[in-house]
Chain A
Amino acid sequence: MSGFVEACLSLARDLFPLIWSGVIIGCLYALGALGLVMIYKSSKVVNFSHGNVAGFAAFLVYGFSSGVLLELSWGSAVLLAIISVIIIAFMTYAIISPLVFSSDLTATIGTLGIGLIAQGATLLIFGADIVSLDLPVPRFSMSVLGLRMTGYDLTVLSVAIVTIGALFFVIDYTKLGIAFRAISQNPFAAEVCGLNLRSIHFFAWIVAAVLGVVGALLIVPTTFLSVTTVATFMLQAFAAAVIGGFASLPGSLVGGLLIGILMNLFTFYVSPEFSSTFLLGVILLALNLFPSGILEKVGGSRV
């Protein structure tokens, strides 16, 4: 009897910190997934270059602030990196926009090409070395109900809440957001009503790029920065978007949190070595159980 109680206690002791850190990392996955879904919802393209471009941006912040390229303050380095990423998003869309309107699958392959170029550019400019990039976050940790929270955790949580809240506000209450929703529901009717498809697509690509940079900058302090760090992180974001059905913004938020928590539990209780295989299993299971997303209501066929 006492053994059982002890087991329950130790489970609770492990479980809550695991879920907490899963939620934190899940917020980051959600930021990445939201970017993917924004692009997919508007232009039906899966942006495989998302991770590589965001990684390039993280390297740009490093380059602008550390003296490799420029010696700026952290804030202006981030601003400059965001501007460059917006330019990259602009150019990417300009290159693949003729494809978007003929075949979304071809355009999706095209984004793989952009991703390869971004990866090569990172290698060419910054080399294959590992660098460390730190965030100016408040360094403290406190204990709430036996849960250790660090300044980093709270920064991630608040940045994610503010960013995602702002995004949902824009999409729900502004004219731009209404246009975005109209286009994702029915591009043809939206165009008939006088909306410009291309400018809304641009809006989605730019928002996605900025979300990617925010996610990349927040993920880097947990590890180090190398050519593949952010690209690897974005793969979890892909899984999160898939769980959300790839076409639902709230779904991808839930998917991100779910992936964060599940991955954490799996690596702790089962094995840290099979995490990608686990991810594959989760994706296959999710796609078979909820083919159109975890938040999709049952009823009515989707053709």
Chain B
Amino acid sequence: MSDSGLSLTASRPVSGGMNLLASGSATTWATIVVLVLLPLILSGSWTFSLAVCFANSIGVLSVSVLLRYGGEVSIGHGFFAAIGAYSVGILETRYGLSLYFSLPVALALGVLLGVAFAWPSRNLSGIHLAVTTMALALAVPELINNADHLTGGYEGLYVSHPVVPGVKMSYQRYYVALLALIAVTYAVARLRHSRQGMALLLAKSHPAAADAFGTRRVWARISVMGISGGIAALCGSMLAFAGSTVSPSGYTLWTSIFLLVGSVVSFYGLSLLRALIGGAFLTLVPQFLSASGAWIPVLYGIALLSMILIGHYLPKLREGILGRHGGRK
């Protein structure tokens, strides 16, 4: 109904960086090795922010998956992240359950609610869906605050249950988040080669052809939202575990907008490195600018605009240069 999809996604083949992890590319393995060894060199505060950065990278991936496979923009993924974070927080503080139990619950809830949101919005696309996801994000803080007997209201919850008893908590926060990020990146890379992934991509680019092959548009939309919601819930549970606190101020409309900013800054990439760039942008920029908080939205805004403009002009520029070379021959 509304448009031709994002220019970036339309003009770039989806593979490229995506099968890096699956094919065991050198860069990805080198990144993983560096990240595994990093806590041995860095101080505690750095490992803490890096762990939060991994969690944010997962969130960036969830937005990028929706964009790549569904062709839709969401500014409501803070909702799913909040679901994940609060499942971990509530299961631990109220029922004393550790991440082994709460992580699958968070994932399942994220998928379920993604599907539950996708069903009433199945016929929306483009800007209509974006506005609806915005309304979804806006409803999060008041839902959290009104369920304060469970969620702790404004004060939030504290997450400190170890996953492996006896190991230093700061290491656990770091490595669990890293492991989750690698697992999600791997799963997303596998999705690209699976029948399901192909069907979703076909449904996005050629809905009529997909329909003929038996992939309904509504089914594609609902499963993409389910996958994306599940990944976002994992992001939330990692934010809760790595950041050790869960509070409503972490899941406002801004969270959702920032996740989109991260996705745009990473050029909607699904590889480990790209996701890390997006996550680092969301985590490390506020840290560097903590003294002057007002510059953060300005910088994010400028980064968002410039990445979009680069994405718009780069293919044309490349074409122009290639064209000139062709002419010389």
Contacts and interface: CB of A to CB of B under 8 A. Distances in A.
Contacts of B41: none
A276 interface: yes
Chain A interface, >50% SS class = helix
A287 B134 CA distance: 14
Chain B interface, >50% SS class = helix
Interface residues of B, number: 53
Nearest to B3: A104
A98 B317 CA distance: 14
A108 B297 contact: no
Interface string A88-115: 0000000110110011111011101111
B309 interface: yes
A17 B5 CA distance: 46
A242 interface: yes
A119 B297 contact: yes
Contacts of B126: 104-105
A235 interface: yes
A124 interface: yes
B301 A108 contact: no
Contact of A108 (B10, B127, B132, B145): B127
B295 A120 contact: yes
A106 B127 CA distance: 10
A26 B8 CA distance: 39
Nearest to A98: B312
A95 B304 CA distance: 12
B323 interface: no
B112 interface: no
B121 A284 contact: yes
Interface string B121-148: 1011011101110111011011101100
Contacts of A98: 309, 312-313
Contacts of B261: 112-113, 116
B294 interface: yes
When A and B form their complex, which 3 residue pairs have the shortest distance between CB atoms, in order from nearest?
A: A116-B301, A120-B298, A120-B297
Interface of A: 40, 44, 46, 48, 95-96, 98-99, 102-106, 108-110, 112-121, 123-124, 128, 235, 238-239, 242, 246, 273-277, 279-280, 283-284, 287-288, 291, 302-303
Interface of B: 1-8, 10, 73, 75, 120-121, 123-124, 126-128, 130-132, 134-136, 138-139, 141-143, 145-146, 257, 260-261, 264, 293-305, 308-309, 311-313
